[in-house]
């Protein structure tokens, strides 16, 4: 069986940063990624909040992470992780290309946005359809946009978008938001926010870029076209933890992995970083910070096993 000091699962910003810090610390490591390196930023048209870079495409930033890691000698491997068998001092990472015994494991598998599944959604991702107001809100300055959802995240992000957009429609299938009262009151006071009650999105329309949405009233069946330049989806997010058993690690509501400030999970020697863990903010910069913390925590954990 292959043996490593550290296995990193996931090649997004958190995983890549962990790999860079681990390699610089002299750890024998390998990063495992099932598909494309970069994670969710691959679907981000432009990133304007990465420090030191005025603007860069998500794909270009992902490539920069990969090139940096490989320049330092990090081993990056494409394979699907099927599970983890925790041990007292060693953990077995089970993959399609064989099992790996590791002294420490960093889980950096990220999260996936819930999709509506409506016509045009997949087509316009990165061309008007977004899942992150903080990432993309500034691109819609003085434009009209739509937010889909009615929970805390949807209403809070709609309020945030009014800093840029001239009007923000909130499309919700019920006749009142599910968000907390304080959040709802804030939205009600904002003249830029227009609720679209009892409605669901039938289609996202446009020619190359988003130009509008068609919504259906769930009570009357009536269809209405709303011209917008952007559509922000906030109908939920799911942690990418299908490869883990439900009882392996302590979880928060929604399945997010609980960690402490050093990214340590409930199992010694297993760490979690970025969007997969319980955290109040899911951004490239926070995932990268998590990765640095986890790599150094893993380094100190491995050192205790050898002492």
Residues identified as active-site: 132, 135-136
Q: Rounded to an integer, what is the distance from CA 197 to the centroid of its chain? A: 28
Which residue in 22, 25, 35 sits closest to 109, CA to CA?
A: 35
Both tokens of 58, joined, read 């998500």
What is the widest separation between alpha-carbon atoms in the chain?
Answer: 70
The burial of 208, by beta-carbon neighbours within 10 Å (0-12 exposed, 13-18 middle, 19 or more buried), is given as: exposed
Q: What is the 3-state secondary structure (H, E, C) of 57-70?
A: CHHHHHHHHHHHHH
Which residue in 264, 306, 294 sits closest to 21, CA to CA?
A: 294
Neighbours of 263 (CB within 10 A): 28
Distances in Å between the Cα of 290 and the Cα atoms of 115, 134, 242, 254, 295 are 26, 19, 21, 20, 9
The burial of 306, by beta-carbon neighbours within 10 Å (0-12 exposed, 13-18 middle, 19 or more buried), is given as: exposed
Could you identify the residue written with the tokens 């939920």?
236
Distance CA 151, CA 234 (A): 8
Distance CA 300, CA 34 (A): 28
Distance CA 288, CA 283 (A): 9
């Amino acid at each position: 069986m292959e043996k490593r000091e550290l296995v990193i699962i996931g090649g997004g910003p958190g995983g890549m940063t962990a790999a860079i810090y681990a390699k610089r610390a002299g750890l024998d490591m390998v990063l495992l990624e099932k598909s494309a390196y970069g994670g969710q930023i691959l679907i981000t048209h432009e990133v304007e909040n990465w420090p030191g870079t005025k603007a860069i495409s998500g794909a270009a930033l992902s490539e920069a992470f990969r090139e940096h890691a490989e320049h330092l000698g990090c081993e990056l491997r494409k394979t699907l992780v099927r599970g983890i068998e925790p041990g007292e001092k060693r953990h077995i990472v089970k993959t399609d290309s064989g099992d790996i015994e590791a002294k420490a494991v960093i889980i950096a598998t990220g999260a996936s946005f819930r999709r509506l599944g409506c016509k045009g959604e997949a087509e316009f991702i990165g061309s008007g359809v977004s899942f992150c107001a903080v990432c993309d809100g500034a691109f819609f300055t003085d434009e009209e946009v739509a937010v889909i959802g009615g929970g805390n995240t949807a209403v809070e992000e709609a309020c945030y978008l009014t800093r840029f957009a001239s009007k923000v429609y909130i499309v919700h299938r019920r006749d009142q938001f599910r968000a907390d009262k304080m959040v709802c009151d804030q939205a009600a006071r904002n003249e830029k926010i227009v609720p679209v009650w009892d409605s669901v999105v039938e289609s996202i329309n446009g020619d190359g870029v988003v130009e509008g949405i068609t919504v259906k009233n769930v009570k009357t069946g009536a269809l209405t076209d709303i011209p917008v330049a952007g559509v922000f989806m906030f109908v939920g997010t799911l942690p990418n933890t299908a490869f883990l058993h439900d009882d392996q690690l302590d979880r928060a509501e929604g399945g997010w992995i609980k960690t402490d400030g050093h990214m340590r999970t409930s199992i010694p020697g297993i760490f979690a970083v970025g969007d997969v863990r319980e955290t109040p903010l899911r951004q490239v910069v926070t995932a990268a910070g998590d990765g640095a913390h986890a790599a150094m925590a893993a380094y100190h954990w491995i050192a205790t096993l050898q002492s």
